[in-house]
Amino acid sequence: MKRKMIGAATAYLAGLFFASFFTGIKFAAILLLLLTLVIIKGIRGKDLLILFICFSCAFIVSKAYGHFYYDRIVSRSGSSGDFDGRIVEIENYAGDLSLYTLKGNLDGVPGGVKVTYLGSGLNVEYGDILHLKNCTFSEYKNDYVFRNKDIFMAEGIFLSADYPESVEPEYTHSRPIKNALTGYREKMISCFRSGMDGETGDFLSAMVFGEKKGFDPDMRTSLYRIGIGHVMAVSGIHVSVIAVMLMTFFKLFRLGRVVPFVLMNILMFLFVSMAEWPVSAVRAVIMIDFVYLAQMFRRQSDTLNSLAAAVLIICIANPYAVYSSGFLLSVTASFGIGVFGPYMTENLTDRKFAKGVMIMTCTCLCIFPLSMKFFGETSLISPVTNLLFLPLCSAALVLGAIFVITGGVLPVLDLAELLLRPVLAASDIISRYSLTYFCFPGENSVIIVFALAAAVIAVHVVFSRRSLTASVMAAAFGAVMICSAISSKSVNESLRIAFLGRGRNTAAVITYQGSTTIFDLGGYYNAPVYVRKYLCENGISEADSLVLTKKPPSQYSAYISELKPVTVEKWYTADDIFVHDAGNIFAAGDEIGFLSDSLEIRYKGGELTAAFAENVISVKPSGSRKSLVVCGDVMNGKILIERDENGGMNNFEITLSEDGGYKFRRL
């Protein structure tokens, strides 16, 4: 094993994955595959020992961290008590609402513990202390849309402190630098938005600071669907562009090698701090440091070694980094664009454009499994769009960085707006065509994609031939497309009923033979977010009908805002409430029904019933915040729906076939 750093990082990362995700039959299957590859490659005993030690250390560290730290913290879920914590993070929302991350002591847990508190009306800043009296501790959970558990777990946060009897702030003024940076960040974001038009200002704020809360979600979806959404996450591209810009500037003053490196790291520290320390940016900074350190000591830099070192450092510091989608996507994209892509295109030295397209294609194929896992869809045109639009975005990013570094002295925002406007306009137009992106929903589809990816990796490791690897990759991608087509045809011949939402945010989406009917059953604002996710994941861009059963005026506005990518032909309300400026909405009274071939859908008195091929499913909110009552009869057999870990039964899908069979799938 010539590159021990790469082997150590790979083994350590594998150990964390086995400790966190690969259990049961998956553990045995993947471990068998790895052992087979090791035997085939003939790795020497000494190198094999290093791999085993790194793998074992990671596995033990992850399990120990979980047992002695994570388990003790989440055991407090559901209990009540006081918590005194210093503010280490603040995320502001609309309406004076803020999410505070507090670090303090919790009984029986060694070291500091982070919890979150959502509150308003507190004039506090970083370093101040909040005294929460008799709050309820709750463990974060994942659901269909909001992967809160994974997101916060990657940051070392496992509990939220809810419903305190009182909140007493203690002002310490102990973090002046952090508060100054935060204030400067907000000032610069405000300058972006006031000095540019709305969308371009939000886009530049997302690129420079990772601030996406004010960005139109439909435009974000368009950017992801054409394959350049990654520019909104502060990561390798941002760090590389800014680092090169700074080092080029410092070289003009002939300061030697050490001073520019130190100054660059200071400014990068401030930049990453203002971007709220995304792990993808931390990974990129570590890699950039290895590159410049190699130049300082006149050594040959290596992208794969730098990437391996960055992964190893981050994972040793945080065993739960593997739960971060940003970290995994960042590492995979860096591997594709810096290692795998150049390796596969090594013979295309005289064809720069073709080589660029092929490198981007290899990168997209590397992140394809993770894109399907985290987003349910991936762009099919990203190799071309990145070559066309990434230079414009990079130039705008440089201008934004110059504006921030100079305190807004240089008038560069007009030029940045000129560069970003065609990117947004083109993404809005291109993303409307369904052929530009690929959807393959469902947990089984993710398993298929990852299994095919594992087969490609195995072939490459065993044979190490570019042509064979490329052929297997093409065959694997073709197999995914074929499986998707077969699945789509099968689904189109069946009736699917998806119950979406969380608690009272409940909606039902019924699809059959290309038609889609949506029922909002709860009347709460979050339901449209779940509906949007389901429709986009399944590639549905048109809905025949949408029925608002409660609070029609407010729900109409919520759905209009969320379902911009979806065309709804007719809207109905289950009462006679007038909806202002809604010419295509019809009052249907307390009872409404739809007939289509063998399918009958009926809503009456708060209960939704779907009858298909002599099978009946009905759903009705139970009155509880966290549950639905679902009953049915399939070929004279009961459909049993168990409550999920939150006590509710939302976010699942029932598929009925004409032969009387049915499938249940948790979303």
- Domain coordinates of the chain in residue numbers? 4-74, 80-174, 178-439, 444-490, 493-666
State yes or no: pLDDT of 646 exceeds 50: no
Residue 489 has pLDDT above 70, yes or no: no
Hey, what CATH topology would domain 80-174 get? OB fold (Dihydrolipoamide Acetyltransferase, E2P) (2.40.50)
pLDDT value of position 627: 45
Asked if the model's pLDDT at residue 102 lies above 90, the reply is: yes
Give the pLDDT mean for 621-633: 51
Cβ-contact 150, 162 below 8 angstroms: no
Q: 41 or 102: whose pLDDT is higher?
A: 102
Question: What predicted TM-score, i.e. pTM, was given to this entire model?
Answer: 0.85
Question: What confidence category does residue 419 fall into, taking pLDDT thresholds of 50, 70 and 90?
Answer: very high
Q: If we measure between CA atoms, which residue out of 448, 443, 422 comes closest to residue 653?
A: 443
| DSSP 8-state code for residue 514 | T
Q: Using the predicted structure, report yes or no on whether residue 578 has a pLDDT greater than 90.
A: no
Does pLDDT of 193 surpass 80?
A: yes
Average pLDDT value over all residues in the chain = 82
- For residue range 249-278, what is the model confidence (pLDDT) as tens digits? 888 888 788 888 888 888 888 888 887 788
Give me the mean pLDDT over the 312-334 stretch: 88
Cβ atoms within 10 Å, residue 76? 22
Given pLDDT bands bounded at 50, 70 and 90, which one contains residue 625? very low
Mean pLDDT for the stretch of residues 351-371: 83
Does residue 117 carry a pLDDT above 80? Answer: yes
Q: Please tell me the least confidently modeled range out of 51-65, 100-114, 584-598, 623-637.
A: 623-637
**% of the chain beyond a pLDDT of 70:** 87
pLDDT above 90 (res 116): yes
Residue 17, C-beta contacts closer than 8 angstroms, at least 6 positions apart: 322
Is residue 214 very low, low, confident or very high in pLDDT (cuts 50, 70, 90)?
Answer: confident
pLDDT number for residue 114: 92
Task: Identify the band that residue 131 occupies on the pLDDT scale cut at 50, 70 and 90.
Answer: very high
Does 34 have pLDDT greater than 80? Answer: no
Residue that wins the pLDDT comparison between 347 and 180: 180
Bridge partners, 89 (sequence order): 101
- pLDDT confidence of residue 115: 93
The fraction of the chain above a pLDDT of 90, given in percent, is 12
User: Taking the C-alpha atoms of 559, 217, 199 and 427 in order, what is their torsion angle to the nearest 10 degrees?
Assistant: -110
Can you tell me which residue has the tokens 């869809």?
Answer: 377
Lowest mean pLDDT among 220-229, 421-430, 655-664: 655-664
Residue 2: predicted pLDDT: 58
In this structure, the strands spanning 607-612 and 599-604 are antiparallel
| CA atoms of 13 and 16, how far apart (whole Å) | 5
Total residues found in the chain within this entry: 667
Digit-coded pLDDT (tens) for 148-192: 888 888 888 999 999 999 999 999 988 898 899 889 988 998 999
CA distance 85 to 549: 43
Residue 326: closest CA among 267, 283, 274? 283
Per-residue pLDDT at 100: 93
Q: For residue range 218-251, list pLDDT tens digits in order.
A: 888 888 888 888 888 777 777 888 888 888 888 8
